[in-house]
């Protein structure tokens, strides 16, 4: 497996020239954020990712986690790496300074988080769930819960988990059976089993704080009867110190296709007297609270898709530069060189690069909307930003993780037969990437969320506003010089037309023919991501052209940004018009075949 070097130049470009980090940093609450600080954070994070986490990626995959008598131990080197991560205060970047956070923008935290995920996704899964638990408690916890748990979760001294899934309740949370019994002292006793719990047990932190969905005996049926409980591994004393062990334990860990070094646990609550739990939010109002954590995790999982795509691209690029094989058409007769000279290898590498950069920019944009939703100066601006974040969350989660899988698969193809051999490391990226389109809500669930909760709920108004923003950018493209940008403008305009047509069809069909809209949901999300990604690439090309014209920045890097955007426009965005038929007509065949004929 090749080394990992964080793409700091591209991250910085996206943050400063596409997302507008300088504007976000100037908002109330971000007064101490300077560009010098941003550069220092990115550079130092890149060192930890490249020098400490990345070298453990392949060794951790081979060693796997160790489980014995309820104890989970991570592979060699992980505990020491986590100490460096925790002691460097990396866990605290975007959180409230009142509880020990650094109060930095989420879009910057996402750039840093991408480095952990790309360097070592098994390691990076732990901070994802922890930050989601922090967000949940900040939004829904009591004052006492916040004072007791937030400082330790934010510092990374303790870690958090999300406990939803049960053997009979995967995406269908209405089937949750985990039981919560009221106690005279105001606590609850939790009984039941949860499966697929990421970092449900491990040896990195002094305590693990489980966020658990359970049902009271007199609760209404379905998701309306779910309540949310905070269940610590060790009970916490009044002084905040760790006390006796709670009645919760890991009974097994999964043997997975990938992410071997990160434990995925089956958790048993209440085998004896019952696990002590503390209500978060109101009784029978657990799902809305849990969605705070789930939406945070969904954006982070989308970021995992970006990160794994980047890692797979770097692996393939390095191999293509070193692997000498055959005569490339166009080279001098008899000359044999590295395979990066072959046209089809160049096409594959550029496809990997372009898709990764588009997904990165869209994911950072979504994170920036979280910053604006919290800190923009007017209520209208905050509401608009939150609406955009809500709209983009399922797209980022599903589209970016699909890209992670596609790019990792292409990476194996670049390696040829060597990619199919575990020793090269290319196969691990593919294995690690596969789960990201499943967990935190499968990508089909994300597509349904986009169609029914984001588009149909307001009759397409939010989606139309976003499409209009893309269309309005045509003026910027028209003022930018260069044939490449002219071609990008042409492709983006066609993409906007396709997305607009599809959005109108979805808005009109979702209520009248919900099954038809459901059948079109995944193609619609793919179209949405493709055009939104094209919008990001177009913005990047315009900004690169402006910077190049004034000599502001590395000219080779800026030229590459324009060429990569052109490739995306010609090879990815150009397919937008062809996506209309699967959306508007594809449901007819999908729904007509009798079940027995499948």
Residue 184 forms part of a structural domain: yes
Among residues 440, 484, 526, 543, the one annotated as catalytic is 440
pLDDT recorded at residue 29: 86
Same domain, 134 and 42: yes
Same domain, yes or no: 544 and 582 = yes
In 3D space, the residue among 151, 171, 187 whose CA is nearest the CA of residue 287 turns out to be 171
Please state whether beta strands 242-245 and 179-182 pair in parallel, antiparallel, or not at all (unpaired).
Answer: unpaired
143 and 49 housed in the same domain: yes
pTM for this structure? 0.97
CB 150 within 8 A of CB 403: no
Residue ending a domain, among 249, 284, 319, is: 284
The reply to whether 460 falls in a domain is yes
> What does the pLDDT read at residue 274?
97
Phi, psi for residue 278 in degrees, rounded to 5: -120, 125
Question: 226 and 116: one domain?
Answer: no
Q: Reply yes or no on whether 511 is catalytic.
A: no
Whether 122 and 200 share a structural domain: no
User: Do 231 and 133 lie in a common domain?
Assistant: no
Nearest partner of 376 among 9, 8, 30, judged by Cα: 30
Averages of pLDDT over each 10 residues, the chain, 598 residues: 97 97 91 89 98 98 96 98 98 96 97 98 97 96 97 98 96 95 98 98 98 97 96 94 97 98 98 97 95 94 98 98 95 94 98 98 98 95 96 98 98 97 97 97 97 96 97 96 94 98 98 97 98 98 96 96 98 97 97 96
Burial readout 351-374 (b: 16 or more C-beta within 10 A, e: otherwise): bbbbbbbbbbbbbbbbbbbbbbbb
Indicate which CATH number applies to the domain containing 219. 2.40.110.20
177 & 119 share domain: no
Same structural domain, 145 and 184:
no
Same domain, 209 and 280: yes
Q: Are residues 37 and 97 in the same domain?
A: yes
Per the structure, the complete domain to which residue 75 belongs is given by 8-155
- Domain with residue 135: its CATH number is 1.10.540.10
Sequence-ordered alpha helix ranges (H) in 257-415: 286-322, 343-375, 379-415
The reported pLDDT for the residue numbered 238 is 86
Report if residue 369 sits inside a domain. Answer: no
Cβ–Cβ < 8 Å for 391, 466: yes
With respect to residue 435, please indicate whether it lies within any of the assigned structural domains: no
CB 274 within 8 A of CB 371: no
In a domain, 513, yes or no: yes
Structural domain ending residue among the three candidates 99, 127, 155: 155
Which residue, 235, 259, 284, sits at the end of a domain? 284
Domain count, the chain: 3
Tokens of residue 414, six digits: 């670049």
237 shares a domain with 95: no
Query: Quick one: tokens of 164?
Result: 């939803």
Q: How far apart are CA 537 and CA 568, in angstroms?
A: 8
Domain match, 126 and 224 both:
no
HSE value, Cβ hemisphere, 13 Å, CA-based, for 270: 18
Kindly report the length of the chain.
Answer: 598
The torsion defined by the Cα of 355, 357, 360 and 364, in degrees rounded to 10, comes to -130
Judged by DSSP in three states, 280 sits in: strand
């Amino acid at each position: 497996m090749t080394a990992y070097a964080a793409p700091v130049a591209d991250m910085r470009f996206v943050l400063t020239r596409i997302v507008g980090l300088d504007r976000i940093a100037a908002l109330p609450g971000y007064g101490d954020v300077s560009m010098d600080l941003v550069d220092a954070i990115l550079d130092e994070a890149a060192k930890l990712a490249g020098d400490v986490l990345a070298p453990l990626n392949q060794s951790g995959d081979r060693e796997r986690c160790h489980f014995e008598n309820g104890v989970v131990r991570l592979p060699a080197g992980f505990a020491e790496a986590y100490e460096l991560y925790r002691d460097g205060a990396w866990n605290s970047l975007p959180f409230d300074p009142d509880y020990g956070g650094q109060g930095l923008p989420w879009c910057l935290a996402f750039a840093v988080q991408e480095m952990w995920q790309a360097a070592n996704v098994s390691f990076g899964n732990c901070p994802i769930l922890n930050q989601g638990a922090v967000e949940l408690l900040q939004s829904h916890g009591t004052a006492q819960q916040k004072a007791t748990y937030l400082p330790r979760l934010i510092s990374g001294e303790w870690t958090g988990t999300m406990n939803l899934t049960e053997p009979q309740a995967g995406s269908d949370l209405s089937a949750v059976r985990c039981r919560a019994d009221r106690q005279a002292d105001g606590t609850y006793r939790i009984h039941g089993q949860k499966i697929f719990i990421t970092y449900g047990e491990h040896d990195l932190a002094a305590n693990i704080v489980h966020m658990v969905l359970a049902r009271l005996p007199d609760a209404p049926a379905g998701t309306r009867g779910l309540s949310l409980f905070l269940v610590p591994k060790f009970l916490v004393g009044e002084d905040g110190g760790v006390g006796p062990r709670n009645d919760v334990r890991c009974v097994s860990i999964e043997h997975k296709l990938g992410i071997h070094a990160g434990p995925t646990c089956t958790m048993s609550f209440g085998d004896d007297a019952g696990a002590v739990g503390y209500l978060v939010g109101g009784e029978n109002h657990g799902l809305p609270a849990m969605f705070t954590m789930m939406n945070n995790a969904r954006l982070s999982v989308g970021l995992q898709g970006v990160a794994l795509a980047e890692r797979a691209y770097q692996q393939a690029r390095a191999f293509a530069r070193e692997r000498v094989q055959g005569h490339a058409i166009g080279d001098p007769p008899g000359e044999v060189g590295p395979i990066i000279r072959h046209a089809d290898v160049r096409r594959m590498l550029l496809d990997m690069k372009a898709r990764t950069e588009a997904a990165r920019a869209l994911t950072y944009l979504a994170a920036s909307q979280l910053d604006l939703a919290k800190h923009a100066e007017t209520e209208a601006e905050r509401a608009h930003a939150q609406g955009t974040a809500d709209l983009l969350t399922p797209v980022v989660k599903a589209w970016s993780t699909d890209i992670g899988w596609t790019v990792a698969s292409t990476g194996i193809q670049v390696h040829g037969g060597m990619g199919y051999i575990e020793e090269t490391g290319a196969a691990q990226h593919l294995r690690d990437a596969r789960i990201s389109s499943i967990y935190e809500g499968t990508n089909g669930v994300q597509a349904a969320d986009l169609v029914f909760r984001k588009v149909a709920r307001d009759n397409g108004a939010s989606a139309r506003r976003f499409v209009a923003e893309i269309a309005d950018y045509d003026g910027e493209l028209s003022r930018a010089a260069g044939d490449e940008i002219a071609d990008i403008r042409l492709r983006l305009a066609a993409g906007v037309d396709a997305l607009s047509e599809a959005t109108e069809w979805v808005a009109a069909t979702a209520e009248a023919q919900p099954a038809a809209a459901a059948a079109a949901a995944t193609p619609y999300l793919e179209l949405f991501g493709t055009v939104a990604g094209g919008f990001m690439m177009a913005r990047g090309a315009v900004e690169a052209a402006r910077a190049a014209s004034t000599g502001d920045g590395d000219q080779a890097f800026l030229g590459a940004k324009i060429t990569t955007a052109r490739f995306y426009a010609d090879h990815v965005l150009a397919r937008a018009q062809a996506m209309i038929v699967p959306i508007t007509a594809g449901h007819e065949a999908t729904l007509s075949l009798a079940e027995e004929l499948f």
